Amino acid sequence: MSVLLEVIATTVADARIAARAGADRLELVTAMGEGGLTPSAGLIEAVVAAVEIPVNVIVRPHSRGFVYDADDYAVMLRDIGAARAAGANGIVIGMLGADRTIDRTGLARACEAAAGLAVTFHRAFDEARDLREALDVLLSFDAVTNVLTSGGKPSVLQAQTTISELVRQAAGSHCTVLAGAGLTIDAVAPFVQSTRVEAVHFGSGVRVGGNGLAPVDEEKVARVRALLDAIAH
């Protein structure tokens, strides 16, 4: 099986390096130190123009958690439109109710605004009260094609059993479990083999010095690509 490699980009240079080294897709964010916030329209346009691979754009208006009010939604819907106009392949979103269940109404509005763009539900998923219940909700949305998760733990490497269960739950559906947070180059091959995930997501793990605020390291991305390709063969 071929395993998809998604890499976080925060600049045009990051995007070029990741694409050159073998990333299949980018997640474009700004403010990585805050978990990723919506990038500017100018950055989205520049990155889309710079690379051939799909660019998924995070739409997250602030870092105060994942429960949003009417004004937040108004901003998010405008940002989704801007990402679409700028040529994004997809959007990366996530919203919860005060009871830590997925905000179905908010998600439906975002999916409608996405108007056919790929939709990834981000790690707000990991703060849901019950991950299996949350995945069932996401599986009921045809627009949601990926769920980015660390299995409810700070690092996916602490949640391999949960990730395996989520992969089984999503098997045969339109939604792929995208495993991310805390993945290391050394651990990626055994992790993929044990969990059977079909997509992995790297941020700090493929940056210079493992630092989230440093540039993407071309050699590290290339090493991950080679390891994933070796599994496929």
pLDDT in tens, 147-171: 999 999 999 999 999 999 999 999 9
Element (H, E) at 55: strand 55-58
How many residues appear in the chain? Answer: 233
Residue 1 has pLDDT above 80, yes or no: no
Note down the domain range covering 85.
4-232
The CA distance from 63 to 52, in Å, is 30
Element (H, E) at 72: helix 70-85
Q: How would residue 33 be classed by pLDDT, with cut points 50, 70 and 90?
A: confident
In the prediction, which pLDDT does 195 show? 97
Q: Total structural domains in the chain? A: 1
> In CATH, what number is assigned to the domain containing residue 98?
3.20.20.380
CB 131 within 8 A of CB 166: yes
Q: What are the structure tokens assigned to 72, written together?
A: 């937040």
In the prediction, which pLDDT does 43 show? 98
